[in-house]
Amino acid sequence: MENSWATFGRDLHLDLTGPGGLRAALLRALRDAVRSGRLAPGTRLPSSRSLAADLGIARNTVADAYAELVAEGWLSARQGSGTRVAERVLPRATPPAARRSPGPGPGPGPGPGPRPADRADRPRFVLTAGTPDVSAFPRTAWLAAARRALTTAPSEAFGYNTPYGRPELRTVLADYLARARGVRADPDRIVICAGFIQGLALLSRVLGTGRLAVESYGLDFHRAVITRAGLRTVALPVDERGARTDELAALDDVRAALLTPAHQFPTGVPLHPDRRAAAINWARATGGFILEDDYDGEFRYDRKPVGALQGLDPDHVVYLGTVSKSLAPALRLAWMVLPERLVDPVLALKGTGEWQSGALDQLTLAEFLSSGAYDRHLRGMRLRYRRRRDQLVAALADHASQVRVSGIAAGLHAVLELPPGTEQATLRAARRQGLALDGLSRFHDPTAPPASRDALVVAYGTPPDHSFAGAVDALLRALPSGEQEPGEQEPGE
């Protein structure tokens, strides 16, 4: 019998004497077997008990290896059908986004690189920013909302929809955003889009020419979207009060400024009230726009929520929100709350048909919001992320007290300040520990004056729960030592 339990173990050609022990050897062998095609997609694996018996090793070792390979996407474990080799399209597999470096930050992960690379060099732990813990997606609650949406949707919802987005969703969002984020939202000013990036692209094209100010720490692919639309970017410095919006007035030909007021990405500071006022004053004086990227505004832990900047002046601020951090990037659902004078131009551009989003997910999200499931999900995720943050902070205090942590009052990531000049070496050490991780310098706009801040951006929200402790351990091992090596006893102590 092909791939029977008995032959399976032998076919793996396990070299149990290799480096790293039995578990590492098993992982290596299984990955190789999948990669080489010896284990075809869909192949059912023996139970951990059987394989352990067959190989003469502990069952836990096999079970752990399976779990890790499931988490990495090599295997899939479906209820009732055991563990199987994941279905993939070979040879050009689309790799699990959670395992390939999932592009950082508030926008979409995948850069333009079209074809996924081989998965051999995949990290064990991903702490790069941009993706929430997708293993926590509320599948059951989402399905219940989808059922209600599908049952009650009028027939016309299945036809061609307008570029506005479904009215059901815009109505519910207006209430939600007013309540949760202090947004002054009229459904007529809300336009649904397929992710923040699509919104930014539409707005950039509507603005057309001139310059768009961006924060000097931010995302390169945001800047790329802006320049592809024909605008130029100009960097606003970021300090401990957030973006230097007080410098906007001195800049020429700036049509708009893209800001992350609630939680500057990636430095993590909220925009100071003076800077908020300066931004609004600039927009009023010049007729410019603030593009408010509220990518993780729902996640706050220790302090009062920072209301949306848009509430101060809905006629000069475009509010951009998304479910990519709160639910899942895969939904490709986001929204813009627009000043009146931008509604028609944005709809006219979006109406060309290349930019439309599916209606069923919109209707499902409307149900998810109006039923209270969204609030419940956010409460649960807030607790979960806060716990992780506290774990991280405590572990750093215990084992790496030389590292200062900041930006942790909100969001899904922390900034770890490093001793000057150690960022690159620390990143190399992290890679050796199997960690995917970014340094702060990666987010620095190369057109801005040089910055000499060494830090790590640690997205504690990204990994699934079961691998978080391992990720923190690996991080601790990668950090530069202070006076003493973490985990080492001083002689005589």
Question: Closest CB to a copy of itself among 186 and 247?
Answer: 186
| Shortest Å distance, C-beta 264 to a copy of itself | 21
Long-range contacts of 137-141 (CB under 8 A, 24+ apart): 137/327, 137/328, 138/327, 138/373, 138/377, 141/368, 141/373, 141/376, 141/377
DSSP states of 307-335? --GGGG-TTTEEEEEESTTTT-GGG--EE
Question: Closest CB to a copy of itself among 88 and 211?
Answer: 88
Question: Closest CB to a copy of itself among 51 and 327?
Answer: 327
Q: Which residues 6+ apart lie within 8 Å of 154 measured at CB?
A: none
Q: Where are the alpha helices (DSSP H) in 242-372?
A: 273-286, 340-350, 359-370
| Shortest Å distance, C-beta 353 to a copy of itself | 4
| Shortest Å distance, C-beta 85 to a copy of itself | 12
DSSP states of 114-171? -SPPPSTT--SEE--TT---GGG--HHHHHHHHHHHHHH--GGGGSPPPTT--HHHHH
Question: Closest CB to a copy of itself among 1 and 89?
Answer: 89
Contact criterion met (CB below 8 Å) for 290 and 316: yes
- Torsion angles phi and psi, residue 421, rounded to 5: 80, 5
Longest dimension (CA), the chain: 78
| Shortest Å distance, C-beta 296 to a copy of itself | 15
- Torsion angles phi and psi, residue 413, rounded to 5: -145, 160
Question: Closest CB to a copy of itself among 166 and 276?
Answer: 166
Distance (Å, whole) CA 447 – CA 204: 19
Question: Closest CB to a copy of itself among 73 and 268?
Answer: 73
| Shortest Å distance, C-beta 184 to a copy of itself | 16
| Shortest Å distance, C-beta 150 to a copy of itself | 5
Contact criterion met (CB below 8 Å) for 239 and 465: no
Structure tokens at 3: 């791939």
Question: Closest CB to a copy of itself among 253 and 465?
Answer: 465
Question: Closest CB to a copy of itself among 22 and 342?
Answer: 342
| Shortest Å distance, C-beta 194 to a copy of itself | 6
| Shortest Å distance, C-beta 283 to a copy of itself | 24
3-class DSSP state of 108: coil
Q: Which residues 6+ apart lie within 8 Å of 250 measured at CB?
A: none
